[in-house]
Amino acid sequence: MKGLLARLLPRRASLLPADEAYALWAPTYPARPHNPLMQAEQVIVAPLLRSTRARRALDVGTGTGRNLALLREAGVPLVVGVDLCEAMLACADASFARIRGDACGLPFRSGAFDVVSSSLMCGDIADLDAFIGEASRVLAAGGQLVYSDFHPSWTALGWRRTFAAADGQRYELPYCPHAIEEHLQLLDAHDIDICAIREPRVDGRGAPVVVVFHGSRRMRTRV
């Protein structure tokens, strides 16, 4: 009887390490906003990327390349994506430059890019300081940083990150929450001046689902 009842109840998503989860998700992960949260995020991020007028752009945690396409549409001549998951990179458009690398130790020289973008990657990393420090390091003076994170409301509401794999099974990804205050303190510490902060909601209702940061690398480090 217990076995029969278990088959009738909804299955709880299995929690996987991030690397295993993304490798499993990659074959069905489209390079476009494929849920309401991502759509709300892209409504804010896309115009910011179009306004940067960059010559060299880096997208960190690029996955299958959603932001790479936005940057190309914005007319950026050199667009590079970096991600730790080889399976995700393999599923991205092969016409883009893609490099396997760690967001907390970017494999590029200092000042190499005019814009650094990243969408919803911060929730995968515990060391936010390392990511923001690296993003600042590879930005040229005056360069633009445009990135998003899951809103802190996720913690208060108990939301979880889940996806359905090609086999139909549901899986859960780990989630590293970061307060907005933490982002602001680290951006200031790494010489990024805030231009704008946005907190979009799905269809303009309910709790904010994402927080988007737009910053600029200081022309001169403060002493």
Quick one: pLDDT band at residue 156, thresholds 50, 70, 90?
confident
State what percent of residues in the chain have pLDDT above 70.
93
Average pLDDT over residues 181-200: 98
Q: What residues does 205 pair with on adjacent strands?
A: 202
Residue 69 lies in a domain: yes
pLDDT digits (tens, 9 = 90+) for 117-149: 999 999 999 999 999 999 999 999 999 999 999
Quick one: pLDDT band at residue 45, thresholds 50, 70, 90?
very high
pLDDT digits (tens, 9 = 90+) for 73-94: 999 999 999 999 999 999 999 9
What is the reported pLDDT for 223? 45
Residue 68 lies in a domain: yes
Predicted TM-score (pTM) of the model is 0.92
What is the reported pLDDT for 13? 79
Q: What is the 3-state secondary structure (H, E, C) of the chain?
A: CHHHHHHHCCCCCEECCHHHHHHHHHHHCCCCCCCHHHHHHHHHHHHHHHHCCCCEEEEECCCCCHHHHHHHHCCCCEEEEEECCHHHHHHCCCCCEEEECECCECCCCCCCEEEEEECCCHHHCCCHHHHHHHHHHHEEEEEEEEEEEECCHHHHHCCCEEEECCCCCEEEECCCCCCHHHHHHHHHHCCEEEEEEECCCECCECCCCEEEEEEEECCCCCC
Residue 47 lies in a domain: yes
Torsion of CA 131, 136, 137, 138, to 10 degrees: 90
CATH number of the structural domain spanning residue 194: 3.40.50.150
Say yes or no to pLDDT of 8 above 70. no
Residue 71 lies in a domain: yes
Helix (H, G, I), strand (E, B) or coil at 96: coil
Residue 4 lies in a domain: no
Both tokens of 147, joined, read: 């990135």
Say yes or no to pLDDT of 1 above 70. no
Residue 3 lies in a domain: no
Structural domain count of the chain: 1
Domain limits for position 80: 11-217
Say yes or no to pLDDT of 221 above 60. no
pLDDT digits (tens, 9 = 90+) for 159-183: 999 999 888 899 999 999 999 999 9
Residue 138 lies in a domain: yes
Residue 2 lies in a domain: no
